[in-house]
Structure 1
Amino acid sequence: MSEAAPARSNRFLKITDVVAETSLSRATIYRLIAKGDFPSPIRVSPQRVAWSERSVQGWKDQQANNLLN
C-alpha cells in the first residue's frame, strides 16, 4: 500500500516562522529574495508581509533535492 504525500497547508508564515522553518537568518532570507533564490513575501496588510507555507516548503524541498543531485 502506498502512502499519499501529506497535504501542505497554505497558511501564512511570519518572518520568525520562516527563520525557524529554514534555520536561515532574517538577513540571509532577504538576501536570497533579492537574488531571486527564495520565495518573495506576500503583503497581507499595509505594514505586514508573510510567506505562503507552501512556497517555503517548496523551497526546502528544492534545496533537499539539490543536495541529492
Structure 2
Amino acid sequence: MSNSERIIRLKTVLARTGLSRSTLYRKIADGTFPRQLSISVHGAGWRESAVNRWIDDPAAYREGQGA
C-alpha cells in the first residue's frame, strides 16, 4: 500500500485540514469533502490521497470527480 493510499483517522484529518469536526461533516454532506470509509464496526477513516486532493484545491473539490 503506497503512502497516498493510507487510511487516516478523524484526528489526523482535522489536524491536516484545519477544519472543525462540524464543518468537516457539513462539507461531506454537501459533497465538497471526501467521504469516509468504514474500516470496522465502529471506525472510519479517509483515503490519504483523497484528503490530499482536497488540500491541494479545496474550492474546486467535488465528490465523484477524478484525481
Tell me which interval the TM-score lies in, with the shorter structure as reference length. Answer: 0.7 to 0.9
Q: Mind listing any 5+ residue stretches in structure 2 that lack a counterpart?
A: 62-67
For residue 10 of structure 1, the aligned residue among 5, 9, 21 is: 5
Where do 5+ consecutive residues of structure 1 fail to align? 1-6
Task: Give the corresponding residue for 1:4.
Answer: none
Higher helix share: 1
CA RMSD in angstroms, aligned pairs only = 2.1
Divergent runs of 4+, >4 A: none
Of 56, 62, 67, the residue aligned with 1:61 is 56
Q: How many residues align?
A: 60
Q: What is the TM-score normalised by the length of structure 2?
A: 0.79
- Give, in angstroms, the shift of residue 8 of structure 1: 5.1
Structure with the bigger percentage of strand: 1
